[in-house]
Structure 1
Amino acid sequence: MDSQLAQISTLSQKDKGPAFIALIPEILARPDPSALVADLHNLVDTVVNQDSVGLVVGRQVLSELVKILGEASIKDVELRKRVVEDTLNTVQPRIVSYEEQVNTLRFQLADLLEEEEEWSEAARVLMGISLDSGQRRVASRDGDKLRVYVRIVRLLLEDEENVQAETYYNRAALLVHSADDRETLLQFKLCQARISDYGRKFLESASRYHELSYVGEIDEEERRHMLLAAVTCAVLAPAGPNRSRVLASLYRDERTLELPTYNILSKMFLDHILRSAEVKEFERTLKSHQLAKLAISSNDRLASAGQYDDPTGMNEPTASTRTGPSTVLDRAVMEHNLLASSKIYNNITFGGLGALLDLTPGAAETMARKMIEQGRLRGSIDQVDKLIWFEGNREEDDAQGKAGGLGDVEEAEDTGAPFTKRWDTQIRLTAANVESIVEHLTEKGLVKLAPVA
């Protein structure tokens, strides 16, 4: 091979290119992989690094080799990857002169690595592509740059490298306005949803996943996966009116009936208190980043661990010693149960709420205080009597009303009477409703009342 290369190097510039190109099929036909790699290395090194060959001939020969490699002339994937990597290393010192050919090789190598599910390695190969050079044909337009950035983000997210993925996502966001490729736009929107998911912006992520689950161009199985991700993110989102609206939108979507997470979705939408067995079942469906540990601030830890005197004089010997939620799911469930308890009780003691949430009384008070401060819970805290009072007329919390599309819910009229009288009014309304149901069933002949003795 060395003698052949030396002989071709003595030819005129017009004849060098065809002679070198004619050697490529001959080298690729060699049965010994080691000899094939060595001979291709010598060929590339000669045409690229020898000044006697010239830049024009070098580009011509390297372009032909890149084209042949792209046509999968080497059937063995590992051998083809080895050849591409060796060619890239050989050309690297002269990358400025052979930028277009190098970038094409990088795309080929990224494809090979992606097929082997080497996501991060494939992303790093694409990061080495120069997207701003005037010599390049690929990525010369904003749409081409956007496709490369979106692909890098997608690959990094597969290995959960969300911090670096967000950097390239921000670059893609600057170019998305100029995109006209529907597939690239859909991939960008999916990256948006996943970036929000990794960044714990669960409400935003749930809305984006749900929106994508309606897109007809996406495969049906993928749409189902996005709908499942939307439900998961909605469950993990902070409790409050905004989450109630997202839950309502998902609850009235008929497709969620077939999901394994429908049970916890319905309970959250209907403001039912979640039990530990249901939470553990849901926890098994979560990804690692959705089970991230939460750090408790020193101020919250001190407040949560404070001494609590039971006003009833009946201290619970088995009271919880937890001073706060430990995971994202833990926090979401506790906040939901706190919000659900506000629909059941007019007020509750710190100790009672702590028993409900499996927290110390101080930690329960801290969680309620934060939700009230953030406008996600309407109520007030009486620290003298150790009570949390819940406010009744929650006009904005309309998940079961207009936001849920289930119609308006009739509520007992608030006459301003004391709480005991209001409680009596609710009992009378319940008894009257039961009596009307029995009368209706009797008229239909479904119930027969026994005569009074």
Structure 2
Amino acid sequence: MESKLAQFASLSQKDKAPAYLSLLPEILSRSNPSAIATDLHSLVDTVVNQDSVGLVVGRQVLSELVKSLGGGIIKDNELRKRIVEDTLATVQPRITSYEEQVNSLRFQLADLLEEDEEWSEAARVLMGISLDSGQRTMPDEDKLRVYVRIVRLLLEDEDSVQAESYYNRAALLVHSTSDKETLLQFKLCQARISDYARKFLEAAMRYHELSWVAEIDEEERRHMLSAAVTCAVLAPAGPNRSRVLASLYRDERSAELPTYNILSKMFLDHILRSAEVKDFEGTLKPHQLAIIAISSNDRLASAIPDATAANEPNTSTRTGPSTVLDRAVMEHNLLASSNIYNNITFRGLGALLDLTPGAAETMARKMIEQGRLRGSIDQVDKLIWFQARDEDDAQGKAGGLGDVEQVTEDTGAPFTKRWDMQIRTTAANVESIVQHLTEKNLVKFASAAA
């Protein structure tokens, strides 16, 4: 090979291109992988880095090599990867002169790395592609595809920080395409970025939206529906989450999911037990089990000793939730308890949530401040008073289950409204049963004495 290259160096400029190009088929047809790699390195180094060859000839030879590699002439992926990496390293000193060929090689290398599930390495190769240069500017639609692919690869290795950076670049170009596949990939990246950033409510809505797209495979849609349920469960308790939970609960496909039990309990405001939470915890990804930090102020407030609870041997010593799931379950149980009790002591709420009385008060206070819980706190009597929720906050209009108009008498006593409604409903049910029995002649009423 060295002798042929030295011989071609003395040819005229117009004869050099055909001469060097004739070597490519000869090299690629050899049976010895080491010989192929070695000879291709010598050829590329000669045409690229020897000034006597010329830029035009170098581009022709390199373009033909890129075309041959892309056409699958080399079946061994490991050999092909080795050749591509070696060619990129050889061309690196003069990369500005061969941008188009280098970009094509990087796309090929990224494909090979992705096949081997080397996600981060494939992403880094794509990051090195020159998308804007003086010689050739890539269209915005193609840039968008590259950015979305980088985001997808980084998320496979759970590198959400760098993925978000490239997602922001893609968001600026998303208007430039109408290609359905690219838009769907962008929306999926959007949902996953929200998931990793712990914006669970936003992620749940996006996952649920994607689960209805007919172009996506059925198994993938089921996976997205499951991800939507998981994110909805982890979202902060409150009216907004109730809307999302209702939408998922009404979805007939949710009943087939293994997480349906916890979804239904959260939607119906039932208190969750530790065994149920433990089963659900096994389905979560590492970032969804991240440990959360408690602020110093909350830690101090939660650690204030309670004189009445000091004598209780089973009083919890926990000063706050430790994980995202832990916090979601505690906030849900607190919200569920507001449907059961008119009021509850700090110590009683702490026993329910497995927290110190001070930590239970802190959690309730924060939820009231954020408008996610209706109530008030009496620190003198150490009581939390709950206010009856409007229909908008429960399973009616907020949950998307339709408008239910109920005419209730204004008694002037808000804490007895629910009790009055229960009595009214029970009396109506009894009357209906008696009427049904009377029609069947199963009940006879004695006539009144004159």
TM-score (norm 1): 0.93
Match of 1:75 in 2: 75
Stretch of structure 1 that moved more, 328-337 or 315-324: 315-324
What letter corresponds to residue 39 of structure 1 in structure 2? D
Write the mapping of 1:9-408 to structure 2, written as runs, cut at 5 A. 9-136=9-136, 140-310=138-308, 315-401=311-397, 403-408=399-404
Q: Deviations over 1:4-55 (max 9, x none)?
A: 1111121111111111111111111222211111111000000000011100
Q: Are residues 309 and 441 of structure 1, via their aligned partners in 2, closer, same or farther at CA, if it must alter by over 3 Å?
A: farther
Q: Are residues 442 and 276 of structure 1, via their aligned partners in 2, closer, same or farther at CA, if it must alter by over 3 Å?
A: farther
Figure out how many residues of one structure are paired with residues of the other and give that number: 446
Q: Are residues 448 and 4 of structure 1, via their aligned partners in 2, closer, same or farther at CA, if it must alter by over 3 Å?
A: farther
Asked whether the equivalents of residues 243 and 398 of structure 2 are also in contact (C-alpha less than 8 Å), the reply is no
Stretch of structure 1 that moved more, 436-445 or 237-246: 436-445
Structure 2: distance between partners of 1:209 and 1:154: 15
Determine helix, strand or coil for the equivalent of 2:384: strand
Structure 2: distance between partners of 1:108 and 1:438: 75
Structure 2: distance between partners of 1:422 and 1:182: 52
Q: Give how far 1:198 is off.
A: 0.4
Q: Give how far 1:316 is off.
A: 2.9
Q: Are residues 330 and 444 of structure 1, via their aligned partners in 2, closer, same or farther at CA, if it must alter by over 3 Å?
A: farther
Asked whether the equivalents of residues 293 and 327 of structure 1 are also in contact (C-alpha less than 8 Å), the reply is yes
Structure 2: distance between partners of 1:365 and 1:398: 23
Determine helix, strand or coil for the equivalent of 1:218: coil
Structure 1: distance between partners of 2:127 and 2:294: 37
Asked whether the equivalents of residues 48 and 91 of structure 2 are also in contact (C-alpha less than 8 Å), the reply is yes
Unaligned regions of 5+ residues in structure 1, if any?
none
Q: Give how far 1:438 is off.
A: 3.7
Q: Deviations over 1:56-93 (max 9, x none)?
A: 00000000000000011111111100010000000000
Structure 2: distance between partners of 1:59 and 1:391: 76
TM-score (norm 2): 0.94
Q: Deviations over 1:171-202 (max 9, x none)?
A: 11111111221111111111110000000111
- Structural RMSD (CA): 2.2
Q: Give how far 1:131 is off.
A: 0.5
Q: Are residues 93 and 205 of structure 1, via their aligned partners in 2, closer, same or farther at CA, if it must alter by over 3 Å?
A: same
Asked whether the equivalents of residues 391 and 398 of structure 2 are also in contact (C-alpha less than 8 Å), the reply is no
Q: Give how far 1:402 is off.
A: 5.4
Determine helix, strand or coil for the equivalent of 1:294: coil
Structure 1: distance between partners of 2:340 and 2:271: 10
Asked whether the equivalents of residues 111 and 122 of structure 1 are also in contact (C-alpha less than 8 Å), the reply is yes
What letter corresponds to residue 157 of structure 1 in structure 2? L
Asked whether the equivalents of residues 245 and 399 of structure 2 are also in contact (C-alpha less than 8 Å), the reply is no
Q: Give how far 1:279 is off.
A: 0.7
Determine helix, strand or coil for the equivalent of 1:238: coil
Q: Give how far 1:417 is off.
A: 3.5
Stretch of structure 1 that moved more, 95-104 or 429-438: 429-438
Match of 2:448 in 1: none
Identity %: 76
What letter corresponds to residue 246 of structure 1 in structure 2? V
What letter corresponds to residue 257 of structure 1 in structure 2? A
What letter corresponds to residue 340 of structure 2 in structure 1? I
Structure 1: distance between partners of 2:35 and 2:442: 95
Q: Give how far 1:301 is off.
A: 0.8
Q: Are residues 387 and 52 of structure 1, via their aligned partners in 2, closer, same or farther at CA, if it must alter by over 3 Å?
A: same
Unaligned regions of 5+ residues in structure 2, if any?
446-450
Q: Are residues 68 and 360 of structure 1, via their aligned partners in 2, closer, same or farther at CA, if it must alter by over 3 Å?
A: same
Q: Give how far 1:135 is off.
A: 2.3
Determine helix, strand or coil for the equivalent of 2:321: coil
Structure 2: distance between partners of 1:425 and 1:216: 48
Structure 2: distance between partners of 1:428 and 1:120: 63
Q: Give how far 1:407 is off.
A: 4.5
Asked whether the equivalents of residues 207 and 230 of structure 1 are also in contact (C-alpha less than 8 Å), the reply is yes
Q: Give how far 1:442 is off.
A: 3.4
Q: Give how far 1:227 is off.
A: 0.8
